[in-house]
Amino acid sequence: MNKQINQKAWLFVLPVFILVAFNALIPLMTVVNYSVQETFGDNVFFWSGLLWFQEVLTSERFQNALIRQLIFTFSILAIEIPLGVAIALTMPRKGPWVPVCLVLMALPLLIPWNVVGAMWNIFALPDIGLLGYTLNALGFDYNFTSQPGDAWFTLILMDVWHWTSLVVLLAYAGLVSIPDAFYQAAKIDGAGSWAIFRHIQLPKMKRVLTIAVLLRFMDSFMIYTEVSVLTGGGPGNSTTLLSIDLVKIALGQFDLGPAAAMSLIYFLIILLLSWVFYTVMMRNEDQ
Amino acid sequence: MPQTKSWIVPTLYIFFLMLPIYWLVNMSFKTTNEILGGFSLYPKEFTLENYITIFTDPTWYTGYLNSLAYVGINTVLSVAVALPAAYAFSRYRFIGDKHLFFWLLTNRMAPPAVFALPFLQLYSAVGLFDTHIAVALAHTLFNIPLAVWILEGFMSGVPKELDETAYVDGHPFWSFFIKIFIPTIAAGIGVAAFFCFMFSWVELLLAKTLTSVDAKPIAATMTRTASTSGYELGLLAAAGTLTIIPGAFVIYFVRNYIAKGFALGRV
Amino acid sequence: MAQITLDKIRHSYVETPSKEEDWVLKEVDLVWEDAGAYALLGPSGCGKTTLLNIISGLLHPKQGRLLFDAEDVTDLSPDQRHIAQVFQFPVVYDTMTVYDNLAFPLRNRKVDEATVDKRVREVADFIDMGHRLDERAKGLTADGKQKISLGRGLVREDVNVIMFDEPLTVIDPHLKWQLRSKLKELHQRVKRTMIYVTHDQTEALTFADKVVVMNLGEIVQIGTPVDLFERPHHTFVGHFIGSPGMNILSCEPDSAGARFAGGTVATENRLSAGESGKRIELGVRPEFVRFTAEDGLPADIVKVSDAGRYRIVETRCGGETVKLLVGEGDEIPADGARLAFDPSNTRLYADGWLAGEGR
For residue A94, the chain C residues in CB contact (below 8 A) are: none
Backbone angles phi, psi at A149, to 5 degrees: -60, -45
Q: Are residues C9 and C144 in the same domain?
A: yes
| A22 occurs within a structural domain | no
A189 touches chain C (CB under 8 A): yes
Report all structural domains of chain B as residue ranges with CATH numbers, in order of start: 1-47 (no CATH), 57-263 (1.10.3720.10)
Q: Are residues C231 and C312 in the same domain?
A: no
Residue C27 CA to residue C10 CA, distance in Å, equals: 5
Q: Are strands C37-41 and C210-215 parallel, antiparallel or unpaired?
A: parallel
Say yes or no to pLDDT of A72 above 70.
yes
> H or E stretch including A143?
none
Give DSSP secondary structure letters for C90-153.
----TTSBHHHHHHHHHHHTT--HHHHHHHHHHHHHHTT-GGGTTSBGGGS-HHHHHHHHHHHH
Q: Are residues C229 and C256 in the same domain?
A: no
For residue A204, the chain C residues in CB contact (below 8 A) are: 94
Cross-strand partners of C198: C41
A203 contacts C94? CB cut-off 8 A? yes
The minimum CA-CA distance between A159 and chain B, rounded to whole Å, is 11
Helices in A91-112 by DSSP H: which ranges? 97-106
User: How much is the pTM?
Assistant: 0.78
- For C230-288, how does the pLDDT look when each residue is reduced to its tens digit (9 = 90+)? 899 999 999 888 888 899 998 888 877 888 888 888 888 888 877 777 888 999 999 99
For residue A105, the chain B residues in CB contact (below 8 A) are: 10, 13-14, 17
Most B-contacting residue of A11, A14, A16 (CB-CB within 10 A), to test interface: A16
**Could you report the predicted ipTM of this complex, rounded to two decimals?**
0.82
Q: Which of B74, B72, B67, B69 is nearest to B207 (CA)?
A: B67
DSSP assigned state of C335 = S
- Under a CB-based contact definition with an 8 Å cutoff, are residues C290 and C338 in contact? no
Long-range contacts from A89-92, C-beta under 8 angstroms, 24+ separation: A89/A171, A89/A175, A89/A197, A89/A201, A90/B3, A90/B6, A90/B7, A90/B8, A90/B9, A90/B10, A91/A168, A91/A172, A91/B10, A92/B6, A92/B7
Model confidence band, residue B262 (pLDDT cutoffs 50, 70, 90) = low
- Under a CB-based contact definition with an 8 Å cutoff, are residues B116 and B51 in contact? no
Residue C38 CA to residue C40 CA, distance in Å, equals: 7
Residue A52 CA to residue A43 CA, distance in Å, equals: 18
Most A-contacting residue of B12, B13, B67 (CB-CB within 10 A), to test interface: B13
- Closest CB from B87, B111, B246 relative to A12: B87
Looking at residues A256-273, what average pLDDT do you find? Answer: 82
Residue C41 CA to residue C48 CA, distance in Å, equals: 7
B262 contacts A208? CB cut-off 8 A? yes
Give DSSP secondary structure letters for C29-86.
EEEEPTT-EEEEE--TTSSHHHHHHHHHTSS--SEEEEEETTEE-TTS-GGGTTEEEE
A189 contacts C104? CB cut-off 8 A? yes
Most A-contacting residue of C100, C104, C116, C159 (CB-CB within 10 A), to test interface: C104
Which pLDDT score is estimated for A94? 74
Tell me the CA end-to-end span of chain B in Å, nearest whole number: 27
A178 touches chain C (CB under 8 A): no
Residue ending a domain, among C194, C214, C235, is C235
For residue A97, the chain B residues in CB contact (below 8 A) are: 7
Say yes or no to pLDDT of C184 above 80.
yes
- Under a CB-based contact definition with an 8 Å cutoff, are residues A240 and A68 in contact? yes
Could you say which residues from 3 to 42 on chain A have a Cβ atom under 8 Å away from some Cβ of chain B? 3-10, 12-13, 15-17, 19-20, 22-24, 26-28, 30-31
A287 touches chain C (CB under 8 A): yes
The minimum CA-CA distance between A284 and chain B, rounded to whole Å, is 17
Could you say which residues from 97 to 156 on chain B have a Cβ atom under 8 Å away from some Cβ of chain A? 97, 100, 104, 106-119, 121-122, 137-138, 140-141, 144-145, 148, 156
The minimum CA-CA distance between A247 and chain C, rounded to whole Å, is 46
A13 contacts B100? CB cut-off 8 A? yes
Least confident window among B191-195, B230-234, C225-229, C246-250 = B230-234
Q: What is the dihedral of CA B242, B247, B248, B254, to 10 degrees?
A: 160
| C211 occurs within a structural domain | yes
The minimum CA-CA distance between C26 and chain A, rounded to whole Å, is 24
Residue C2 CA to residue A100 CA, distance in Å, equals: 46
Which pLDDT score is estimated for B265? 44
- Under a CB-based contact definition with an 8 Å cutoff, are residues B82 and A16 in contact? yes
- For B41-52, how does the pLDDT look when each residue is reduced to its tens digit (9 = 90+)? 777 778 888 888
Most B-contacting residue of A25, A69, A113, A119 (CB-CB within 10 A), to test interface: A119
Which pLDDT score is estimated for B267? 39
Looking at residues A267-277, what average pLDDT do you find? Answer: 84
Sheet holding C263-266, edge to edge: C252-253, C257-260, C263-266
3 state DSSP class of C347? strand
Mean pLDDT (chain C) is 86
| C359 occurs within a structural domain | no
Q: Are residues C62 and C209 in the same domain?
A: yes
| Residue-number span of the structural domain to which A119 is assigned | 58-286
Whole-number CA gyration radius for chain B: 22
- Under a CB-based contact definition with an 8 Å cutoff, are residues C232 and C238 in contact? yes
Q: Which of B144, B150, B158 is nearest to B91 (CA)?
A: B158
Whole-number CA gyration radius for chain C: 24
Chains that touch B (3 or more CB pairs under 8 A): A
Count of CA atoms in the C-beta half-sphere (13 A) of C315: 30
B203 contacts A123? CB cut-off 8 A? no
Asked whether A and B share 3 or more beta-carbon pairs under 8 angstroms, the answer is: yes
Looking at residues A125-137, what average pLDDT do you find? Answer: 84
| A91 occurs within a structural domain | yes
Mean pLDDT (chain A) is 82
Model confidence band, residue B81 (pLDDT cutoffs 50, 70, 90) = very high
Q: How far is CA B58 from the centre of its chain?
A: 24
What percent of chain C shows pLDDT beyond 90? 9
C83 contacts A188? CB cut-off 8 A? yes
Looking at residues B107-135, what average pLDDT do you find? Answer: 83
For residue A169, the chain B residues in CB contact (below 8 A) are: 258-259, 262
A172 contacts B23? CB cut-off 8 A? no
Which pLDDT score is estimated for A12? 86
Q: Are residues C135 and C70 in the same domain?
A: yes
- Under a CB-based contact definition with an 8 Å cutoff, are residues A152 and A238 in contact? yes
Q: Are residues C211 and C250 in the same domain?
A: no
| Residue-number span of the structural domain to which C62 is assigned | 4-235
Which pLDDT score is estimated for A40? 58
Model confidence band, residue A78 (pLDDT cutoffs 50, 70, 90) = very high
> H or E stretch including C341?
strand C337-341
Say yes or no to pLDDT of B75 above 90.
yes
Give the domain CATH number at C315: 2.40.50.140
Q: Are residues C179 and C114 in the same domain?
A: yes
B265 touches chain A (CB under 8 A): yes
Residues 6+ apart with CB under 8 A from A243: A222, A223, A224, A266, B111, B112, B113
C-alpha distances (whole Å) from A280 to each of A199, B68, C93 are 20, 40, 22
Which pLDDT score is estimated for B72? 92
Q: Are strands A37-39 and A45-47 parallel, antiparallel or unpaired?
A: antiparallel
Say yes or no to pLDDT of B76 above 90.
yes
Least confident window among B102-116, B190-204, C57-71, C76-90 = B102-116
Residue C354 CA to residue C351 CA, distance in Å, equals: 8
Residue ending a domain, among C208, C235, C262, is C235
C79 contacts A187? CB cut-off 8 A? yes
Say yes or no to pLDDT of A286 above 70.
no
| C302 occurs within a structural domain | yes
A184 contacts C78? CB cut-off 8 A? yes
Q: Are residues C231 and C249 in the same domain?
A: no
- Under a CB-based contact definition with an 8 Å cutoff, are residues C57 and C76 in contact? yes
| C33 occurs within a structural domain | yes
Residue type at C198 in one-letter notation: T
Which pLDDT score is estimated for A25? 83
Residue B174 CA to residue C270 CA, distance in Å, equals: 66
Which pLDDT score is estimated for A63? 85
How open is the CA angle C151-C153-C159, to the nearest 5 degrees? 140
The minimum CA-CA distance between B180 and chain A, rounded to whole Å, is 18
- Under a CB-based contact definition with an 8 Å cutoff, are residues C253 and C309 in contact? no
Most A-contacting residue of C13, C54, C58, C135 (CB-CB within 10 A), to test interface: C58
Say yes or no to pLDDT of B266 above 50.
no
- Under a CB-based contact definition with an 8 Å cutoff, are residues C105 and C83 in contact? no
What percent of chain B shows pLDDT beyond 70? 90
User: How many domains, chain C?
Assistant: 2
Say yes or no to pLDDT of A1 above 80.
no
Residue ending a domain, among C204, C235, C266, is C235
Q: Are strands C210-215 and C346-350 parallel, antiparallel or unpaired?
A: unpaired
Residue A224 CA to residue A245 CA, distance in Å, equals: 9
3 state DSSP class of A61? helix
- For C7-51, how does the pLDDT look when each residue is reduced to its tens digit (9 = 90+)? 888 888 888 877 777 888 888 888 888 888 999 998 888 888 888
- For A2-19, how does the pLDDT look when each residue is reduced to its tens digit (9 = 90+)? 677 777 778 888 888 888
Residue C82, number of CB atoms within 10 A of its CB: 20
For residue A118, the chain B residues in CB contact (below 8 A) are: 222, 226, 236, 240
| C240 occurs within a structural domain | no
Say yes or no to pLDDT of C4 above 60.
yes
For residue B93, the chain A residues in CB contact (below 8 A) are: 3-6, 9
Q: Are residues C213 and C332 in the same domain?
A: no
Give the domain CATH number at A246: 1.10.3720.10
- Closest CB from B118, B233, B267 relative to A211: B267
Say yes or no to pLDDT of B118 above 90.
no
Tell me the CA end-to-end span of chain C in Å, nearest whole number: 32
Residues 6+ apart with CB under 8 A from A173: A208, B259, B260, B261, B262, B263, B265
Residue type at B138 in one-letter notation: A
Which pLDDT score is estimated for C211? 92
Residue A124 CA to residue C104 CA, distance in Å, equals: 51
Give the domain CATH number at C98: 3.40.50.300
| A192 occurs within a structural domain | yes
Q: Are residues C169 and C254 in the same domain?
A: no
Q: Are residues C202 and C298 in the same domain?
A: no
Residues in C whose CB is inside 8 Å of some CB of A read: 53, 56-58, 77-79, 83-85, 87-89, 91, 93-96, 104-105, 108-109, 136, 149, 152
Say yes or no to pLDDT of B226 above 70.
no
- Closest CB from A24, A107, A127 relative to B17: A107
Residue B53 CA to residue B23 CA, distance in Å, equals: 20
Say yes or no to pLDDT of A44 above 70.
no
Looking at residues B102-108, what average pLDDT do you find? Answer: 81
The minimum CA-CA distance between A191 and chain C, rounded to whole Å, is 6
C-alpha distances (whole Å) from C242 to each of B174, C173, C214 are 47, 21, 16
Q: What is the dihedral of CA C328, C331, C333, C338, to 10 degrees?
A: -80
Say yes or no to pLDDT of C359 above 50.
no
Say yes or no to pLDDT of C327 above 60.
yes
Backbone angles phi, psi at C80, to 5 degrees: -85, -10
A164 touches chain B (CB under 8 A): yes
Chains that touch C (3 or more CB pairs under 8 A): A
User: How many domains, chain A?
Assistant: 1
- Closest CB from C84, C93, C105 relative to A199: C93
Which pLDDT score is estimated for B223? 67
For residue A269, the chain B residues in CB contact (below 8 A) are: none
Could you say which residues from 194 to 223 on chain A have a Cβ atom under 8 Å away from some Cβ of chain C? 195, 199-200, 203-204
Counting one residue from A and one from B, how many pairs have CB atoms under 8 Å apart?
282
Q: Are residues C9 and C101 in the same domain?
A: yes
